Structures are given as structure tokens and as C-alpha cells.
Amino acid sequence: MSGLRERQKQERRALIAGAALAEFKSNGFAATTVENIANAAGVSPPTVVNYFGSKQGVLLALLQEPDHRSIEESSLRVRDFTNPVDALCDLEMTVTGNQVKSIPASLWREIIPIWLNGDAPEVFRAWNDAVVAGAQVLLKHFCANGVLRKDLDVELVARMINDWANIAFVRLAAQDEPDMAAHGEYMRKVFTVLCEGIAR
């Protein structure tokens, strides 16, 4: 019985998140209310709050889901790489590709100023922390295999990687048609310079 209940909760959560994304696309993030999301999902506003806490909580879930999927995919492939640049490019391009597919550029252009102004710090901190954790897994793997320095401050380098990727993502999301190839070339150059500096 608990398995059925859990599946129903997950389905309702997905329903609410999907309705919220449709509302954000149609009306913009700022103009969308919890009531709009509830109406679109066919649930009550308290149900939305119960599942997500707030409109910002729904946004966090929409941002995190592609990242969690990307980090999982990339961490499964880490042993396929002998070069940390290739592994970092794989992680970054997987995360970025999934984000661009999940959330349209028009919505990113509204979300990014909120992010840069620090108006929803808990949302973007949690979103960034997931990517930092994924980068740490890759860095630790290459440190353990003697490719990167053993004394590497893995957390600091992972946060640097996330910061550079964020800056590049802002530029990418500002484009009506994101140029993923140019983004990938730029990030490869960044990761090459970084990895040359922290190589064993």
C-alpha cells in the first residue's frame, strides 16, 4: 500500500511541476502565482505548498531535476574517461544540454536576473550545490588515479568550475537559439587551462 501511495505522490508532484512550467512559460515566472499553478494542475493551493513550499520551491525542482539526471548520467561514465578535461566537458555539456531542453530561453531570460540579483538565494544555492557535488565526484576520481594533484582543494576547484559554467550559461541562455557548439568549445578551453594548472 505504501508503494502505491508513494507512486501517487510522485505522480502528483510531477503533475504540479509540469503545470507550473507551462504557467511560467505562458505568463512568466514573476506573474505566475501559486493559485495559477494549482488551477492548472487541478489541485488546491495548499496542495502546491504542501509539495513544494512555494513558487520558488517549484522552480528549484524544475532546475534540479535535469541536473540530478545529468550528474547521474555523467558519474556513470566517469570511468570511460582518462582525461579530466573530457570528463568535465561531458558533465558540463550534459547539465547544460538538459537545462536548455527543459527550460526555454525566454524563461531563462526572466530567471537569470532573479538569480544574479540574489532574490531567491536558497533556490539557486541548492541548484548550484548539486552541480558542485557532481564536479567533486569527477575531480576526486582523477585525484585518486594520479591524474590530478593529490593535495587538490576539490571543493574550491568544483566551485570555480561551477562559477565559470554559470557565467558561460548566462551568455548561452541570452541567445534565442543557444549555440551549444560554441559553448562547448569555450568550456573545453576553460577546462583545459584549469586542468593544466592542477595536473599532477
What CATH number does residue 45 fall under?
1.10.10.60
Q: How many residues does the chain have?
A: 200
Task: Summarize pLDDT for 146-190 with one digit per residue, the tens.
Answer: 999 999 999 999 999 999 998 999 899 888 888 999 999 999 999
What integer is the mean pLDDT of 34-60?
93
62 and 24 part of one domain? no
CA separation for the pair 183, 169 (Å, rounded)? 8
**16 touches 52 (CB < 8 A):** yes
This prediction has a pTM of 0.81
What integer is the mean pLDDT of 24-46?
94
136 and 44 part of one domain? no
Q: At which of 11, 33, 53 does a domain end?
A: 53
Q: Give the residue carrying C-alpha cell 576520481.
A: 141
**21 touches 103 (CB < 8 A):** yes
C-beta atoms surrounding 35 within 10 Å: 12
Handedness of CA 111, 117, 120, 125 (dihedral sign): positive
Q: At which of 16, 35, 53 does a domain end?
A: 53
Residues in CB range of 64: below 8 A, 6 or more apart? 126, 127, 130
Segments forming the whole domain that contains residue 47: 1-53
Task: Summarize pLDDT for 108-158 with one digit per residue, the tens.
Answer: 888 888 777 777 677 777 778 888 998 999 999 999 999 999 999 999 999
112 and 167 part of one domain? yes
Query: What is the domain count for the chain?
Result: 2
